[in-house]
């Protein structure tokens, strides 16, 4: 594949190249969780050369909020905010995809009074800051499915090109799929098939909403993490079966969340076959697979393309250089300096905290 050529989805939507801005948390909304001016500028700057912009995770309900200053899409009060976000992205010519999200047991405690942290089961995550969540009642699980569907409807009404269902990075959808966090005995828990049920109902609900609102070209993507270190935890074999199910739905892409695009299994260090190869073999051309993780040079782009990814998601390098795709195409090295001019201040501050862990990147005052 030539990643700089247009990409046409099966629903007919054309992406001007094969690159997407990875969904990265900005911690920068207004206090009422609407889009801030800084965020608006952040997305506008990164929409000019890239094919698709996937937004930071947007909370689908009040108890979906995972961290401070996370944009919300929980009801009509956020319609104007979502329209501004869509316009900021579309102004540069990129496809606008809203990532919809619920943090579940990973939500930061004490963000607001009477916070209700919920999860599939009352099992605490293995993180210092987390607390033991309250297990959702079966009726509440169905309400949560409705929250995702309603958020998608709001995205459709606000003019977005699509949504990405956030089923990765230890958040609620992954919690339902994981045998570590899901110990339910109703239709949403138990064996592998039952642990898929929550995600399947959300996908089906959003596809039905597309029909109801007559949005046949609305893109639906699904992001997932292929493995967990916890025992019991998600294995690559679990994920391959899940991906096989997802690939039979009329959705538009799958987005694997990896630290490195050519990563091999973490649960079996003897297995040196890249996870991407395993996933692509299972998908067998039914859907495009988007890869992410350390794609920061033109050489990385070529290696990821050769591995077989259909679409490529760029993260850290796009924070430093809003024109990263153009730089790749011109065979120029992208900028590696984080600046106040192109990043919201809360995001810049958080990056600065990581300091030396951000190997190869610098800050403008240094």
pLDDT of 145 strictly over 80: yes
The tens digit of pLDDT for each residue in 261-307 reads 999 999 999 999 999 999 999 999 999 999 999 999 999 999 999 99
Residue pair 46/318 in contact (Cβ under 8 Å)? The answer is yes
pLDDT of 108 reads 98
pLDDT of 232 strictly over 90: yes
CA-nearest of 292, 300, 209, 214 to 253 is: 292
pLDDT of 355 strictly over 90: no
pLDDT of 225 strictly over 60: yes
CA-nearest of 218, 322, 298 to 4 is: 298
The tens digit of pLDDT for each residue in 53-73 reads 999 999 999 999 999 999 999
- Specify the CATH number for 7-363; select among 2.40.30.270, 1.10.150.120, 3.20.20.140, 3.20.20.70: 3.20.20.70
pLDDT of 366 reads 52
Residue pair 82/160 in contact (Cβ under 8 Å)? The answer is yes
pLDDT of 254 strictly over 90: yes
Those residues whose C-beta lies under 8 Å from the C-beta of residue 62, and which sit 6 or more positions away, are 74
Beta strand pairing call for 95-101 and 162-167: parallel
pLDDT of 116 reads 97
pLDDT of 356 strictly over 80: no
The tens digit of pLDDT for each residue in 91-117 reads 999 999 999 999 999 999 999 999 999
| pLDDT band, residue 1 (cuts 50/70/90) | confident
The tens digit of pLDDT for each residue in 317-329 reads 999 999 999 999 9
Mean pLDDT score of the chain, rounded to an integer? 97
77 φ, ψ to 5°? -60, -20
Q: Is the dihedral of CA 192, 195, 197, 202 positive or negative?
A: negative
CA distance readout (Å), 156 to 89, 160, 163: 15, 6, 9
**Kind plus residue range of the DSSP H or E element containing 88:** helix 79-90
pLDDT of 363 strictly over 60: yes
The tens digit of pLDDT for each residue in 113-142 reads 999 999 999 999 999 999 999 999 999 999
Quick one: average pLDDT of 344-360? Answer: 90
d(CA 290, CA 222): 10
pLDDT of 6 strictly over 70: yes
């Amino acid at each position: 594949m030539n990643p700089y050529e247009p990409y046409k989805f099966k629903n007919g939507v054309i992406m001007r190249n094969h690159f997407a801005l990875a969904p990265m948390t900005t911690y920068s909304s207004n206090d009422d969780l609407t889009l801030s001016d800084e965020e608006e500028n952040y997305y506008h700057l990164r929409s000019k050369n890239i094919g698709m912009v996937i937004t930071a995770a947007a909370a689908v309900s009040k108890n979906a909020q995972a961290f401070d200053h996370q944009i919300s899409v929980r009801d009509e009060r956020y319609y104007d905010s979502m329209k501004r976000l869509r316009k900021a992205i579309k102004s540069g010519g990129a496809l606008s995809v809203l990532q919809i999200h619920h943090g579940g047991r990973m939500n930061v405690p004490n963000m607001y009074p009477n916070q209700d942290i919920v999860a599939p089961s009352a099992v605490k995550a293995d993180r210092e800051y987390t607390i033991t969540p309250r297990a959702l009642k079966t009726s509440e699980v169905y309400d949560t499915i409705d929250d995702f569907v309603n958020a998608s409807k709001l995205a459709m009404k606000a003019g977005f090109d699509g949504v990405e269902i956030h089923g990765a990075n230890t958040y609620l959808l992954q919690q339902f799929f994981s045998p570590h966090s899901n110990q339910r005995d109703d239709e949403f828990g138990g064996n592998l098939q039952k642990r898929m049920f929550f995600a399947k109902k959300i996908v089906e609900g959003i596809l039905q909403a597309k029909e109801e609102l007559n949005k046949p070209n609305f893109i639906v993507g699904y992001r997932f993490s292929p493995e967990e270190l916890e025992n019991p935890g998600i294995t690559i074999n679990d994920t391959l079966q899940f991906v096989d199910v997802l690939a039979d739905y009329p959705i538009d892409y799958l987005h694997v969340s990896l630290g490195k695009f050519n990563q091999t299994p973490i649960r079996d260090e003897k297995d040196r076959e890249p996870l991407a190869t395993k996933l692509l073999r299972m998908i067998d051309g039914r859907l495009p697979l988007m890869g992410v993780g350390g794609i920061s040079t033109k050489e990385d782009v070529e290696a990821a393309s050769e591995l077989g990814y259909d679409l490529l998601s760029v993260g850290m390098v796009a924070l430093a250089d809003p024109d990263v795709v153009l730089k790749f195409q011109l065979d120029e090295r992208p900028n590696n300096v984080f600046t106040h001019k192109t990043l919201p201040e809360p995001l810049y501050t958080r990056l600065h905290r990581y300091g030396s862990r951000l190997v190869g990147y610098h800050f403008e005052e240094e």
